[in-house]
Structures are given as C-alpha cells and as structure tokens.
A and B are shown apart, each in its own frame.
Chain A
Amino acid sequence: MLPTPGPGAAIARARPRASVARDRWVALASVAPALLIAGLVVVGGIGMSAAQSVGLVPLVGEAAFTLDAYVANGDELLTGLALSLGIATASTALSCVIGLAAAIIITQGRVTGRVVAALSALTIPIPHLVGAASVGLLIADSGLIPRVLGIAPTAWPDLVGGPWWVAVVLEYTWKESAFVALVVAGVLATRVARYDETAALLGASRARRLRHVVIPLATPAVIVSAIIIFVYTLGSYEVAWLLGRPYPEPLPVLAFRLFTSITLTSRPEAAAVAVATTLVSLLAVAIGMALLRRTPLWK
C-alpha cells in the first residue's frame, strides 16, 4: 500500500482533454463485442432473410430478383398473419390484465401477496415448451381438468388443437401474466409506496388511489411488457406447434414447415414469411413506443 496517496489519484474526475479521446476509444471497445454480435444477428438475420426472400441468395443456381416467394403462399401468408395477430393480441391483453391484478395483490404485501409473488416468480423460468406440455396435460380432452370435473372427452370442448387456439393463448397468458406481474410489482414496489401514502393523506380512498395513482404509475411498465409479449408470441414457434391445429398455421409454424421442407423453392418462401413476421413485429414495436411516449411519465 502507498504511504501517502499522491494528488494525481484524487483528480480522476477532472480529466485532461487528451484523455477524452481515449475515453471514447475505451467506451467503443467496451460496447464493440456485444454490439457486433447483436448487430450481426439482427442486421444479418433480417438482411439475409430479405435477400433470400427475393431470390438473391439461392441454394443452387443463379441469383435473380423475384417476388415469387411472396406470391407462392399468398393465401397461407394472409391467414397465418391474421391468426398470429389474433393469438398475440389475445395473449397480450389477457396477460396484462391478469398480471396487473397480480402485481397489485403482490404490492399489498402480507401472506397473500407473498404467495402470489412466489408462485409467479417460479412460473417464469419454466421453458415455454414445458409450459405447453403441461397445459396440454391439464386441459386436453383427457387432461386433469376434465378428469376432475368428470366430463367425457366427447363433451369436452376442443381446447387443444381446436378452432379457437384456446390452449395456445392460455399457455402464453399463463407464462406472460407472471412476467407482467413481477415487472409491474417491481416498479410499484420501488416508487408507489410513498406516493400511495401521500395520496391517502390527500383524502384518496383505496379505489381512488388505485385509479388515480397506482394504475397511472404502472402504465409505462405495462406497455413495455405488452410490447415484449406481443412480439414474442407473434414469433414463437413451439407452443403453437404443440398445442395448435395443423391448419391454418400461424406465421412461425408456416415458416418452420417451409424452411424444413425438401423442395428447393421453399427456402425463399420461408424467408418471405420471416420478413413478413419481422415487419409486423417492428410495426408493433413502433406502435407500442408511440403509446409509451404518450404516457405522461415518459421522459
């Protein structure tokens, strides 16, 4: 250890001009590895998908610009798009409502709050594929619920593989409502307690505090969660594949089938579905960000 620290060490904050450039390089070098990987995957993934979809990167043969891949499965693309949007919208809306209710219960504390907090925290690390398997075991026509209720498979509605994609939406909602619950509870726990007290002292009842303080303060976190859930459910494959029906196919399932198909033309067609999904995702993010910007809390 130094006997007396020199004065040089103490002026770390007062930086001479020469080291500003050095700081820049250090900062750039620090972000570079992460930036390269994320950039390669995002820009490369979208760029190459787009290039393949218009025939510029064929597996064999000459590269030639063509929109055939988009036209070839036009109908399936449109039904898939509608289906994916429906599933994502339903899952997102339900997750936000249930998650917000859970977050409010959690921040109320006591035993009930801690039980809900613990159960939702335990739900989150479960892989979606496992979630899909368990939802299947729960609500299929031979699942636990019809057994407990004593309902014959013929009388039980087609929740798994049925026309309304109920099992798929339920699986997403189950996992993602836990996500919303903990994200919103985290926000509420850090900022709401004191505001809640202040509001109470200004005469606001519980219901009024919920409406005028708690929910407005939670809104940005709910919107951010909703964006993430929507984009995830729109692009997720395994749950819809396992719990859905063979036709019509949501976009990721359609893309997956085309991509793994053996015909040569199907690769560009899969890429076309991927590009369409990406565009919808980006649009959803843009709309979500616009909503977020309109909340008074956005700085």
Chain B
Amino acid sequence: MAMMIPYGQRVTPDPRTTRSRGLMRPRPVGRIVRIAVAALLALWFALPVVPLLIWSVANRWSFPATLPTEWGLDGLSQALAQGAVPAFGRSILLGLAVAAIATPLGALAARALTFGRVPAPRLVSAILLAPLALPAFVAVMGLTIVLLRARVPATLAVLLLLVAAALPYTVYTMRVAYAAHDIAFEEEARTLGASRAHVLARVHLPLVAPGLARAAFLAFLVGWSDYVVTVLVGGGSLVTLPLLVGSFAAGVGNDAVVAVLSVSAIVPPLLLLLALGRFGRRYAGGRLTGPTPSRSPKGSP
C-alpha cells in the first residue's frame, strides 16, 4: 500500500531557500510547538525498532534490566543454524522475481492507459487496482484449489499471486511517471532519425527511469514482505525470511533470534530505499521536465 509514496522525490522544501523565505521564518511560539511535535513524531517512528536492535546483540536480557544482562551473538548463530541464509536468499529471489515481472507489465499497461487507445479505460484501471482492495487471503483461498488442480507448482503459484498483488503499485507508479512524461521528446527523436529501438533505449527508458526504479522497489517489497500467500500456497515448501520470523515469533523465548531475523529483513529494503533516494535525487538534477507555463525562474535562483 506504499504505492503513492513519493520515494526519491523531495518532500521537504530545499534547505537553501527555507531560511530566506518569508513563510519559513521561525516564529518563537510556533517554533517550540513544531519542535515538540516533531520530536514526538520522531520518537513514534523510531522507537519500535529500538528493542529489535538491542535484542539482536543480546544473549540474555532477564526482566527488569533495562539493558541486556549478557551481550553476544547467540541469536545470530542460532538464526544461521535455523537456515536464515537460504531463507534470506529465497526472499531476495522472490522479491526480485516479483519486481522483474510486475514492473515491465505495469509499465506497459500504464503507458497504454496514458497514451494509447485502450477500450474501456476506467474498467481496465479498476481491475488493475482491484488487488489492492482484495484481502490477499481471499485470493489465496479462492485460487489454491484451482491452481492445485491445474498442477501449477507451488512456487509458481506464489509468484503469480504476488505479481497480481504488486501490479497496482507498478501500474499506479508508472501512470504517474508517464503523466509527467512528454511524449513529444520521443516524437522529436523520431524526426531526428532514431529508430523505435533507439527511441526506447535512448529517450523513453532514460526519461521514465526514476519511475521504473520506484515501481520495481515497491514490487520487490511486495515479494519481500509477504507472509500469508507464501504460507498458505507454498504450504511450507517455500521457507522465506518472513516465515522464519513468524515461526520464531509465535514461540516463546526466541527474542534474540526473532530480533536477528527481523533486522536482516529490514536491512535490504532500507539499502534499496537509500539507493533509490540517491538515484532519484541525482536524476532530478538533470531531468528534463515537461512544458511548463513559467518561462523565467521565479524568486530563487
């Protein structure tokens, strides 16, 4: 459900301009309130991760102690012994596979919906967004029996369901990207003698690359975070990282293992997110924007 998030786009005003802008000038009372609210929000977003980080390096942390009574990497070694590495690999592969399928399909559909003559475009959009409104377990419970009878391998069935779950994100993200994409650039390239393949490789893809990166990231997240589809359809044959987290978290006394597994489930998407942010920002600098009514830069240089 993260599809509308402006990843890689700046949501805070440029720091160079805020100081010299009249509306951004600090005013004493507002400032205190703002800082207090911001501090509470920062705590709200950051606090839940703290016990994970501590537990992941604690061997023993008996009750009322506020810090672990024995530091260590028992959790890590236990996680490794329980097959964390292959599970991690399977999760990465699953995420990548979902992204690799859902991104181009979403981009194709989004481009056709934005520029092409798709019949009944509203219905088509509605169907493409519908997986978002459908609880995943409903799709699983309905289709498992069909997929089983058609002898579709469990892994493939998981992939199919997750691609469907990822499509709303990729379609929506790419529609936003194509809405901002001026097709005149491609027409210009054609008039300059570029072939279709050249236009695709040299003009079209570079211009929508930030959108593609965002879409792929979101699709990866769908595969990476899934629990319910993998459990129900995979039936235990496909053990991914969330499955390991789930099985340990359901038990008692596994806090250190759960913490280690959880941290390892957070790190890859965070790294991708940071990479995406850098990519988006680097790209934004030289990005060609569509036609705008404003000719001259206003106010700030």
| A-to-B contact residues, CB < 8 Å | 1-2, 5, 9-10, 12-13, 20, 23-24, 26-28, 30-31, 33-35, 37-42, 44-50, 52, 57, 59, 98, 101-102, 105-110, 112-117, 119-138, 142-144, 147-148, 150, 152-153, 171, 174, 176-179, 182-183, 185-186, 188-189, 193, 196-197, 200, 206, 221, 224-225, 227-229, 231-232, 234-238, 241-242, 252, 255-256, 259-260, 267, 270-271, 274-275, 277-278, 281-282, 285
Task: For B30, give the chain A residue with the smallest CB separation.
Answer: A206
Inside 8 A of B81's CB, which chain A residues have their CB? none
**Selected A-B contacts with CB under 8 Å, 29 pairs:** A5-B192, A12-B190, A27-B112, A31-B128, A38-B168, A40-B164, A41-B161, A45-B143, A59-B145, A107-B11, A112-B34, A112-B35, A114-B15, A120-B45, A123-B45, A127-B227, A134-B51, A137-B51, A152-B64, A174-B44, A179-B2, A186-B5, A231-B132, A234-B135, A236-B135, A242-B246, A252-B135, A271-B141, A281-B134
Inside 8 A of A5's CB, which chain B residues have their CB? 191-193
B80 within 8 A of A: no
Q: A35-B128, A38-B130, A237-B227 are in contact. Are A102 and B52 (CB under 8 A)?
A: no
Q: Could you tell me if B108 and A33 are in contact, using CB atoms closer than 8 angstroms?
A: yes
Q: Could you tell me if B141 and A52 are in contact, using CB atoms closer than 8 angstroms?
A: yes
| B-to-A contact residues, CB < 8 Å | 1-2, 4-7, 9-13, 15, 18, 22-24, 27, 30, 34-35, 37-39, 41-42, 44-52, 54-55, 63-66, 105-106, 108-109, 111-113, 116-119, 124, 127-128, 130-143, 145-146, 160-161, 163-165, 167-168, 171, 187, 190-193, 221, 224-225, 227-228, 232, 242, 245-246, 249-250, 255, 258-259, 262, 265-266, 269-270, 272-273, 277
A26–chain B nearest beta-carbon distance, Å: 7
Q: Could you tell me if B259 and A137 are in contact, using CB atoms closer than 8 angstroms?
A: yes
CA distance A52 to B149 in the complex (A): 14
Select one of B44, B119, B163 contacting A98, CB under 8 A: B44
Q: Could you tell me if A48 and B11 are in contact, using CB atoms closer than 8 angstroms?
A: no
